[in-house]
Amino acid sequence: MRPNFLIIGVQKGATTWLAKCLGQHSDVFLAEVKEVRFFFHGQFEKGLKWYESHFDDWSGQKAIGEATPGYIYYQEVPGRIKATLGDEIKLIASLRHPVDRAYSAFWERLSRGLIPADADFRTLFYQDSHGLQSRGYYFAQLGRYLEHFPRENLLILIYEDIKRDAQKVVSDCLEFLDVDSQFVPDTLSTKAYKGIDMSIFHHQVWGLRWAIKSLPRSIEKPLMSVGRYIFERLPKRKSYEPLAQNLRQELLGDFMPDIRQLESLLDRDLSIWYAPPRA
């Protein structure tokens, strides 16, 4: 069995929450593994049988899907999806204020020891570390999909709409998938990703991470897995710092041409992203 819909992005755009909500519907089947990543380089080579194995538990549901938020970002993915699943596949993208998305990703990576604890967000943003900047050019990314798929096969959600009326967003998705849209999931008000607070041992973990990377691959992978398990269960402390509004507005300027094009594509005002904050 192969999917007939995909949640393609974006990272930090509530895709985990959306997958959990849709997956509760009796006529929707979602792969148990979140982020199968089949269409990525290095995964695609595993072959179609490997991909289809993620849907072996399908039991007749009308909508069959998986959620890999990175699909929206990589240039080769739309063509691979079309070649594998055809041009009738339904695609769902959830977009978030590009600077807020980047800042959320920055803190997630800090919490997981993927970047040093003293890292500066603005610096990493302009270095495009981990795609902090480039992942926010949504119109450009969606444009690659529209080269392969008809516009009506692409449902584009806005993260801020989820915060305002989560049930309507879920209903819109269910209607798009042509299943009963009146269903109300019990995860509707659940925050899917609970951020991991910074640990007092962050510097030590950062150093250990790079020490492990010098080991043979067969040893590195299990050690990294065990280390991540332990790190995420260490005592945590609150250390999140809200993004300064002046920096938020500064970085947003880089996205404005893309946002204007996105407004035309969606035929919708996105001033919720760029209007000056109320005093």
Q: Residue 140 belongs to a domain with what CATH number?
A: 3.40.50.300
Residue 178 is part of which domain span? 5-98+131-189+253-274
Q: Residues 218, 90: one domain?
A: no
Which pLDDT score is estimated for 263? Answer: 98
Which pLDDT score is estimated for 198? Answer: 46
Q: Residues 208, 269: one domain?
A: no
pTM of the model: 0.84
Which pLDDT score is estimated for 77? Answer: 98
Q: Residues 135, 225: one domain?
A: no
**Does residue 116 lie within any of the structural domains?**
no
Measured between alpha carbons, how far is 83 from 74 in angstroms, rounded to an integer? 16
Q: Residues 143, 185: one domain?
A: yes
**Does residue 104 lie within any of the structural domains?**
no
Q: Residues 141, 174: one domain?
A: yes
**Does residue 37 lie within any of the structural domains?**
yes
**117, 198 in Cβ contact below 8 A?**
yes
Per the structure, the count of domains in the chain is 2
Give the H/E segment covering residue 277.
none
Which pLDDT score is estimated for 23? Answer: 97
Tokens found for residue 183: 């269903």
**Structure confidence by residue, pLDDT tens digits, 191-208:** 644 444 444 445 555 566
Q: Residues 69, 139: one domain?
A: yes
Give the H/E segment covering residue 36.
none
**Structure confidence by residue, pLDDT tens digits, 81-98:** 999 999 999 999 999 999
Which pLDDT score is estimated for 117? Answer: 85
The DSSP annotation for 111-152 comes to HTTSS-TT--HHHHHHHTGGGTTGGG-HHHHHHHHHTTS-GG
Q: Let me know the angle formed at the C-alpha of 224 by 219 and 226, rounded to the nearest 5 degrees.
A: 100
Q: Residues 140, 220: one domain?
A: no
**Does residue 120 lie within any of the structural domains?**
no
**Does residue 208 lie within any of the structural domains?**
yes
Q: Residues 177, 39: one domain?
A: yes
Walk along the chain (279 residues) in steps of 10 and give the mean pLDDT of each run.
Answer: 97 96 98 95 96 97 98 98 98 98 95 87 96 98 98 97 96 98 92 48 57 69 68 56 95 97 97 82
Q: Residues 172, 34: one domain?
A: yes
**Does residue 118 lie within any of the structural domains?**
no
Tokens found for residue 146: 């529209």
Which pLDDT score is estimated for 114? Answer: 87
Q: Residues 224, 262: one domain?
A: no
Which pLDDT score is estimated for 97? Answer: 98
**Does residue 20 lie within any of the structural domains?**
yes
**Does residue 89 lie within any of the structural domains?**
yes
Q: Residues 84, 220: one domain?
A: no
Tokens found for residue 148: 């392969």
Measured between alpha carbons, how far is 110 from 138 in angstroms, rounded to an integer? 24
Measured between alpha carbons, how far is 131 from 138 in angstroms, rounded to an integer? 13
Q: Residues 212, 165: one domain?
A: no
